[in-house]
Amino acid sequence: MSWTWRYEDGEGQPVDGPGEAFTSQSDAESWIGQSWHDLVSGGTATAILVEDGRVEYRMSLLPAGE
């Protein structure tokens, strides 16, 4: 199994981001918890967790109300 993140801007368009791959969901989630500030600074609004091509979930990286 491989867990990766995909990224979107505020309009839902794909944006480039780190292509890290993780062996567990837990590792992927720990990484995003440490990296989200940098991602937002680079224009990312949404992170999408993907396991082997299947979307597990999507989450906003922006503070509530933005």
For 3-31, the pLDDT digits (tens) are 999 999 999 999 999 999 999 999 999 99
Q: What are 47's strand-pairing partners?
A: 7, 59
Question: How many residues make up the chain in this entry?
Answer: 66
Q: What are 21's strand-pairing partners?
A: 4
**pLDDT the model gives residue 66:** 60
Share of the chain above pLDDT 70, in %: 97
Rounded (5°) CA angle 36-40-46: 80
Write out the two tokens for 38.
Answer: 């940098």
The pTM assigned to this predicted structure is 0.92
What is the average pLDDT across 44-63?
A: 96
Query: What's the rounded Cα separation, in Å, for the pair 29 and 60?
Result: 13
* H/E segment holding residue 35: helix 25-41
